[in-house]
Amino acid sequence: MLGFASSTWAAEDLSKVVLRVGDQTGATRAKLEAAGLLKDVPYQIQWSVYPAAVNLHEALKADAVDIGSAADSPTVSAIAGGSKIKVVANFSNGGLGTSLIVPAGSVIKSIADLKGKTISPTTRGSVAHYLVLGVLKKAGLTPSDVKLAFLTPTDASAAFQAGSIDAWGTWGVYLARTVGTLNATELIDGVGINTGNSVLSATDSALANQRKVAAIADFADRIERGYTWSRENKSAYIDFYAQFTKQDKDTVESLYPSEAAYRRTPIDQAFAASLQNVFETWKEAGVLSGSLNLSDYVYRGLPTD
What is d(CA 271, CA 98) in angstroms, rounded to the nearest whole number? 20
Q: Which of 158, 93, 96, 68 is nearest to 122 (CA)?
A: 158
Through-space distance between the first and last CA atoms of the chain, rounded to whole angstroms:
6
What is d(CA 242, CA 250) in angstroms, rounded to the nearest whole number? 9
243-263 confidence digits (pLDDT tens): 999 989 988 998 899 999 999
User: In the chain, pLDDT over 90 holds for what percent of residues?
Assistant: 87
Residue 112 has phi, psi (to 5 degrees) of -65, -25
Task: Compute how many other C-beta atoms are within 10 angstroms of the C-beta atom of residue 86.
Answer: 21
214-253 confidence digits (pLDDT tens): 999 999 999 999 999 999 999 999 999 999 999 899 889 9
Please give the pLDDT value at position 186: 94
Please give the pLDDT value at position 9: 45
Please give the pLDDT value at position 145: 97
More confident residue, 125 or 21: 21
Cα 229-31-10 angle, rounded to 5 deg: 75
3-state SS string for the chain? CCCHHHCCCCHHHHCCCEEEEEEECCHHHHHHHHCCCCCCCCCEEEEEEECCHHHHHHHHHCCCCCEEEEEHHHHHHHHHCCCCEEEEEEEECCCCCEEEEECCCCCCCCHHHHCCCEEECCCCCCHHHHHHHHHHHHCCCCHHHCEECCCCHHHHHHHHHHCCCCEEEEEHHHHHHHHHHHCCEEEEECECCECCEEEEEEEHHHHCCHHHHHHHHHHHHHHHHHHHHHHHCHHHHHHHHHHHHCCCHHHHHHHHHHHHCCEEECCCHHHHHHHHHHHHHHHHCCCCCCCCCHHHHECCCCCCC
- pLDDT, average across residues 51-71: 97
Q: Which residues contact 92 (CB under 8 A, 6 or more apart)?
A: 195, 196, 197, 198, 262, 263, 265
Full-prediction pTM beyond 0.85? yes
Under the phi-then-psi rule, with left for phi > 0, alpha for psi from -120 to 50, and beta for the rest, what region is 226? alpha
42-58 confidence digits (pLDDT tens): 999 999 999 999 999 99
Please give the pLDDT value at position 304: 64
Please give the pLDDT value at position 254: 86
Q: State yes or no: pLDDT of 2 exceeds 80.
A: no
Strand partners, 275: none
Amino acid at residue number 108: I
- pLDDT, average across residues 184-204: 96
User: In the chain, pLDDT over 70 holds for what percent of residues?
Assistant: 95
148-160 confidence digits (pLDDT tens): 999 999 999 999 9
Model confidence at 305, in pLDDT bands (50, 70, 90)?
A: low
More confident residue, 304 or 167: 167
Please give the pLDDT value at position 13: 84
- pLDDT, average across residues 165-179: 93
- pLDDT, average across residues 117-127: 94
- pLDDT, average across residues 180-186: 92
